[in-house]
């Protein structure tokens, strides 16, 4: 389950914008989560998505005002924790059978690793780092815009 702050959350799959293939399984898992068309939009656009749009896509369960987020998640976690552990475990096990097989995750990871070594990818990442990528601030807060600026 995924919950996000309406005011603070920014979700992005930025990799294609710098010439990479995303690692960690988004090509295998996003289509089942949000549909093929939306998965392509998220992955290929390398754009930022605010919590309300991510919720509309089905990318996250629920977006909430930041001031309410922690209490909501705590209440939900405590509620679930009070239920029968066997029933919780069996339900999760059966739901997880719908996840992409490991072979699909591995293929995406292999493509990710291969893409990192490409000269054009290295140039794009270095340009983003020079602007402030992977540090708190403007680039991280508006990564989709900066990646778009790399490739006008």
**Domain range for 9:** 3-150
Overall domain count for the chain: 1
Q: For residue 132, give the DSSP letter.
A: T
Closest CA to 11 of 21, 26, 20: 26
Residue 152 pLDDT: 61
pLDDT in tens, the chain (152 residues): 999 999 999 999 999 999 999 998 899 999 999 999 999 999 999 999 999 999 999 999 999 999 999 999 999 999 999 999 999 999 999 998 887 788 888 888 899 999 999 999 999 999 999 999 989 999 888 898 888 888 76
CA–CA dist 68, 89 (Å, integer):
28
Q: Which two tokens stand for residue 103?
A: 């072979």
41: CATH: 3.90.226.10
Q: Which two tokens stand for residue 14?
A: 């930025």
Provide CB contacts within 8 A for 148, sequence distance 6+. 17, 46, 47
Helix or strand or coil: residue 56? Answer: helix
């Amino acid at each position: 389950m995924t919950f996000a702050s309406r005011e603070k959350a920014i979700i992005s799959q930025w990799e294609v914008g710098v010439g990479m293939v995303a690692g960690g399984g988004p090509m295998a898992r996003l289509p089942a989560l949000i549909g093929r068309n939306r998965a392509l939009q998220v992955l290929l656009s390398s754009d930022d998505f605010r919590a309300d749009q991510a919720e509309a896509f089905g990318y996250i369960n629920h977006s909430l005002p930041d001031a309410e987020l922690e209490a909501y998640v705590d209440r939900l976690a405590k509620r679930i924790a009070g239920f029968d552990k066997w029933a919780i475990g069996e339900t999760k096990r059966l739901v997880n059978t719908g996840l992409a097989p490991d072979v699909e995750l591995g293929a995406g990871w292999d493509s990710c690793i291969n893409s990192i070594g490409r000269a054009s990818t290295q140039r794009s990442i270095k340009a983003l780092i020079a602007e402030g990528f992977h540090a708190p601030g403007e680039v991280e807060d508006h990564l989709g815009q900066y990646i778009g600026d790399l490739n006008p």
